[in-house]
Amino acid sequence: MSKRKFHGAIIECAQGDIADQPDMEAIVNAANASLKSGGGVTGAIHRAAGPALEQECRKLAPLFPGQAVISSAHHLPNRYVIHCLGPIYRVDEPSEQLLALCYRNALQLAEDNGIQSIAFPAISTGVFGYPPTAAAKIACMTVLDVLPHLATVHHVRFVLFSLDDLRIYEQTLDESIKNK
């Protein structure tokens, strides 16, 4: 786990499972449009939360690329799950803007709900095919753009599954902070 300070907030990069972040108030789901369980991130979140999450999500679906909605976390150790539908790379266009919108909307929802800490997975970089380095740049730049305007959210964690992705996010975050 590595930690950076930015405008009074903490931004971390960690290798791990998004469904195992007990110290974070909200975790973000890389969801599908119908907000049902599936593979990857959403499978891990729904398995840990239990069937009541899918039940609650029924009334929040369908999601459009870039959109974010909030639910309770059920059996997860967090208070909330914020569900984002990332773009399918080069199918949902403009993919860059839609991916940025996920991070922007998730952070705004967190702020609106008085959430202080939020953990993001690498949205769209699995089944949806977004190249990890390009996705990392969008994730880091958007968080750095939005965070200074938020009063409540002051702790953001990027949770990466692989060591390669962790390295990419750490390097991208450092470069993005330097260029701010």
- Contact assessment for residue 162 and residue 170, using Cβ atoms and an 8 Å cutoff: no
Q: Scanning residues 117 to 136, which ones bind ligand AR6 (CB under 6 A)?
A: 121-128
Q: Considering the rule CB under 6 A, would residue 44 count as an interface residue with ligand AR6?
A: yes
**Structure tokens of 31?**
């969801």
Task: Using the minimum distance from each CB to ligand AR6, give the nearer residue, 9 or 87.
Answer: 87
User: Could you say which of 11, 13, 18, 107 contacts ligand AR6 (CB under 6 A)?
Assistant: 18
Give the binding range for ligand AR6 (CB under 6 A) out of 40-48, 53-61, 62-70, 169-177: 40-48
Q: How far is the CB of 125 from ligand AR6 (least distance, A)?
A: 4
- Supply angle C-alpha 179, 129, 47, rounded to 5: 105
Whether the link from the prior residue into 62 is cis, omega within 30° of 0, is yes
**Integer Cα distance of 17 and 161 in angstroms:** 6
Contact between 77 and 116 under an 8 Å Cβ cutoff? The reply is no
Instruction: Tell the smallest beta-carbon distance from residue 151 to ligand AR6 (Å).
Output: 28
Total residues at the site for ligand AR6 (CB under 6 A)?
A: 23
- Phi-psi region for residue 24, left (φ > 0), alpha (ψ -120 to 50) or beta? beta
158 binds ligand AR6 (CB under 6 A): no
Chosen residue from 11, 26, 27, 30 binding ligand AR6 by CB under 6 A: 30
